[in-house]
A and B are shown apart, each in its own frame.
Chain A
């Protein structure tokens, strides 16, 4: 079961916007609107920032937004801040049932 495909790294300057892509297949991203995104700082447990493609849990900044088209989901972070520097993972539900993560993207705030 292959992982979802994410870029290994992205970077941006404070105040800028960045987008992280997550590419799946017709068995996961293409079949379900069950995409979630997790932020992980070094040495910490992951934290959900987007669920069900576009929704934000309570307490998550509206600088974080999600979208999906076909087999590709995207996470956009606007108004980059130093504290956004972290690893980001997409996750999708697959049938049977099972779940699959992306390989992760390291965000560097320049």
Chain B
């Protein structure tokens, strides 16, 4: 079953923060985050593995709670370039099943 992301959409002003959540009904081995601009392919942001540490990339970081089967993406001091649709990608099972599916998506719009 497809992981559910929340919120579905969010509008921010430059400099504001946002949190995007990804929740799965199945056990997760890893969670990956991507951003997709309109008309383009998704672009990889970061990976979180079961038992791994919280990851960070500049002002974008993420966490993974394997017990709750949830991951959150944190965007701080948002920039115009952060606009796009964010997807979590998940691979289930205890050691990965290779069936790689994406969450429902969160549309993020950053305004000047």
Bound pair (A, B):
no
A→B interface (CB under 8 Å): none
